[in-house]
Structure 1
Amino acid sequence: MREGTPMSQTADAPARHHARWVVAALCTGTLLSALNSGMIAVALSTLRREFGVDVATVTWVISVYYLTSAVLQPIMGRLADRYGPRRVFAIGMWTVALAGAVGPFAPNLVLLCAVRVLLAVGTATAFPSAAAMLRAVAATNGGNATKMIGRIQLVDTSSAAIGPVLGGLLIVGFGWPAIFWINVPLAALALVSTGLLAPRDAPRAHVPLRRTVAESDLPGIALFIVAIATLLGFLLELAHDPPWLLLPVAAIAGGLFAWRELRAASPFIDLRLLAANLPLVRVYALFILANLVFYGALFGIPQYLEDHAGYRTDVIGLLLLPLAAFNVVTAPLVERLIDRRGLQRALVIGLAALTVGSVALPLLGASTAPWVVLAATAAVGIPYVFVLVSITQSLYVAAPTERVGQAAGLFQTARCLGCIGAAVVVGLSFSGGTDPPDWVLLATVTVVLALATLVVALAWRPRASA
Structure 2
Amino acid sequence: MRVGDAFACRECRESRGRHPVQQTVTVSNNPRTGLAVAGLSLGTALNPLNSSMIAVALVVLRADFGLDVAAVTWVVTSFYLASAAGQPVMGRLADRFGPRRMFMLGMALVALTCALAPLAPNFALLCVARAVMALGTATAYPSAVVMVGAIAHRAKVESARPLGRLQMANTSAAAVGPVIGGLLVSLVGWEALFLINVPFALAALLIVRQAAPPDEARERGSLSELLRDSDIPGILAFVGALLLVMMAALNVAPGYRWWMLAAGTGIAAIFAWRELRFARPFLDLRLLGRNRPLLLVYLAFAVFSSVYYFVFFGLPQLLQESGEYDPGVVGLLMLPLAAMSVVATPWAVKAMGRFGVRRVLLAGVVLLTVAAALMWLLTGTLAIPLVVVMTALMGIPYGTVSIATNQGMFVSTRPQDRGVAAGIYQTCRYVGAITATVMIGVFASGGVHQDSWARMVVAMLVLCAATFGVSLFWRQRSA
TM-score (norm 2): 0.88
Q: Verify: 1:33 aligned to 2:76, yes or no.
A: no
Name the SS for the 1:311 alignment partner.
coil
After superposition, what is the alpha-carbon deviation per residue over 1:175-224, rounded to whole angstroms, capped at 9, x for unaligned? Answer: 11110111111112212222332223334474332443354444444444
Which among 50, 65, 73 is matched to residue 79 of structure 2? 65
Aligned AA (2:461): V
Shift of 1:11: 6.8
The corresponding residue for 2:474 is 461
Which among 303, 308, 313 is matched to residue 299 of structure 1? 313
Which among 103, 116, 121 is matched to residue 107 of structure 1? 121
Q: Distance in 2 between matches of 1:13 and 1:168?
A: 35
Aligned AA (2:67): V
Aligned AA (1:461): W
Q: Distance in 2 between matches of 1:47 and 1:335?
A: 38
Name the SS for the 1:176 alignment partner.
coil
Aligned AA (1:413): T
After superposition, what is the alpha-carbon deviation per residue over 1:414-444, rounded to whole angstroms, capped at 9, x for unaligned? Answer: 2222222222122222213222111111222
Q: Distance in 1 between matches of 2:92 and 2:56?
A: 33
Q: Verify: 1:335 aligned to 2:349, yes or no.
A: yes
Q: Distance in 2 between matches of 1:465 and 1:264?
A: 27
Q: Distance in 1 between matches of 2:456 and 2:466?
A: 15
Shift of 1:31: 0.2
Which among 355, 358, 377 is matched to residue 372 of structure 2? 358
Shift of 1:382: 0.7
Aligned AA (2:84): A
Shift of 1:306: 1.2
Shift of 1:287: 1.1
Identity of aligned residues (%): 43
Q: Distance in 1 between matches of 2:277 and 2:441?
A: 36
Q: Verify: 1:141 aligned to 2:160, yes or no.
A: no
The corresponding residue for 1:151 is 165
Closer, same or farther in 2 for the Cα pair 1:185/1:251, shift >3 Å? same
Name the SS for the 2:174 alignment partner.
helix
Q: Distance in 2 between matches of 1:12 and 1:181?
A: 36
Q: Verify: 1:121 aligned to 2:121, yes or no.
A: no
Closer, same or farther in 2 for the Cα pair 1:353/1:156, shift >3 Å? same
Closer, same or farther in 2 for the Cα pair 1:13/1:243, shift >3 Å? closer
Q: Distance in 2 between matches of 1:420 and 1:12?
A: 40
The answer as to whether partners of 1:237 and 1:243 remain within 8 angstroms in 2 is: yes
Closer, same or farther in 2 for the Cα pair 1:252/1:55, shift >3 Å? farther
After superposition, what is the alpha-carbon deviation per residue over 1:52-106, rounded to whole angstroms, capped at 9, x for unaligned? Answer: 2222222222222122122222222222232322221111111000111111011
Name the SS for the 2:190 alignment partner.
coil
The answer as to whether partners of 1:16 and 1:142 remain within 8 angstroms in 2 is: no
The answer as to whether partners of 1:154 and 1:388 remain within 8 angstroms in 2 is: no
The corresponding residue for 1:24 is 38
The corresponding residue for 1:162 is 176
The corresponding residue for 1:4 is none
Closer, same or farther in 2 for the Cα pair 1:87/1:11, shift >3 Å? closer
Aligned AA (1:70): A
Summarize the alignment of residues 31-430 of structure 1 with structure 2, pairs less than 5 Å apart: 31-204=45-218, 206-237=220-251, 243-430=257-444
The answer as to whether partners of 2:251 and 2:257 remain within 8 angstroms in 1 is: yes
Aligned AA (1:462): R
Q: Distance in 1 between matches of 2:306 and 2:53?
A: 18
Closer, same or farther in 2 for the Cα pair 1:297/1:169, shift >3 Å? same
The corresponding residue for 1:3 is none
Closer, same or farther in 2 for the Cα pair 1:83/1:180, shift >3 Å? same
Q: Which moved more, 1:304-313 or 1:241-250?
A: 241-250
Shift of 1:412: 1.4
Aligned AA (1:407): A
TM-score (norm 1): 0.91
Q: Distance in 2 between matches of 1:433 and 1:454?
A: 30
Shift of 1:327: 3.1
Name the SS for the 2:408 alignment partner.
helix
Q: Distance in 1 between matches of 2:458 and 2:256?
A: 23
Q: Distance in 2 between matches of 1:13 and 1:111?
A: 43
After superposition, what is the alpha-carbon deviation per residue over 1:142-200, rounded to whole angstroms, capped at 9, x for unaligned? Answer: 22112321321221121112111111111111111110111111112212222332223
Number of aligned residues:
456
Q: Which moved more, 1:131-140 or 1:174-183?
A: 131-140
Closer, same or farther in 2 for the Cα pair 1:48/1:342, shift >3 Å? same
Aligned AA (1:259): W
Closer, same or farther in 2 for the Cα pair 1:11/1:35, shift >3 Å? closer
Closer, same or farther in 2 for the Cα pair 1:29/1:205, shift >3 Å? closer
The answer as to whether partners of 2:164 and 2:346 remain within 8 angstroms in 1 is: no
The answer as to whether partners of 1:44 and 1:58 remain within 8 angstroms in 2 is: yes
Q: Which moved more, 1:228-237 or 1:351-360?
A: 228-237
The answer as to whether partners of 1:351 and 1:383 remain within 8 angstroms in 2 is: yes
The answer as to whether partners of 1:22 and 1:194 remain within 8 angstroms in 2 is: yes
Unaligned runs of 5+ in 2: 1-23
The corresponding residue for 1:6 is none
Shift of 1:227: 3.6
The answer as to whether partners of 2:28 and 2:34 remain within 8 angstroms in 1 is: no
Unaligned runs of 5+ in 1: 1-9
Q: Which moved more, 1:207-216 or 1:267-276?
A: 207-216
Closer, same or farther in 2 for the Cα pair 1:365/1:254, shift >3 Å? farther
The answer as to whether partners of 1:305 and 1:316 remain within 8 angstroms in 2 is: yes
Shift of 1:336: 2.2
Closer, same or farther in 2 for the Cα pair 1:132/1:204, shift >3 Å? same
Q: Distance in 1 between matches of 2:36 and 2:471?
A: 34
